Structure 1
Amino acid sequence: MAFAYKIQQQLTSVYVIVWDKEFLGNIDPETHQKFVEMTESLDKNIQKFFRVPKDFELKYTCADHAGNKRKAKISRYIPEYVSQ
């Protein structure tokens, strides 16, 4: 996870990047489904326990340093702060 801060040292956003090991959906659909369920669970827990609603989600494909294809997703969450 990556965190972005303002000068006041206040958390302004949280970025979560996940990717699978190659194209699991083409190779092992059952394992890919478990991967999808795990990332969806992570998303729900982040929003539930950390009060950071999702701002956006971007799905894309990429290659790792060995040239293996990956499915990836980046999500941005914006914290809700209570007014003081």
Structure 2
Amino acid sequence: MASHFEDARYYMGRAVDHAKAGVREEVESVEQRVRKLTGTEKEPEPGRLEKLQADLQELEGRAEGEAREAVETARERLTAYREKRSE
């Protein structure tokens, strides 16, 4: 008896998935018409390339900041070394 309920639950889940897909399909054309009439376009989701470019720009900015800090630290150490050596 329990397997019948498990089977029924499985097929109900499949039916729900198919119903959601059908509703999305039907609503998609209506959404496009409404957007066309109102003049609002759907924002495209960023693709893999755009995401990678954004990540690379962020990494570049961080690397640049870290490099500047490293150079500043090196300058401070060099100045301190020269002052200590000249004493």
Question: Could you say whether these structures have the same fold, taking a TM-score greater than 0.5 normalized by the shorter chain as the test?
Answer: no
Report which of the two has the higher share of strand.
1
Report which of the two has the higher share of helix.
2
Q: Which of these two proteins has the greater Rg computed from alpha carbons?
A: 2
- Relative to the length of structure 2, the TM-score reads 0.27
**Could you say which structure has the greater relative contact order, defined with CA pairs below 8 angstroms and 6 or more residues apart?**
1
- Relative to the length of structure 1, the TM-score reads 0.28
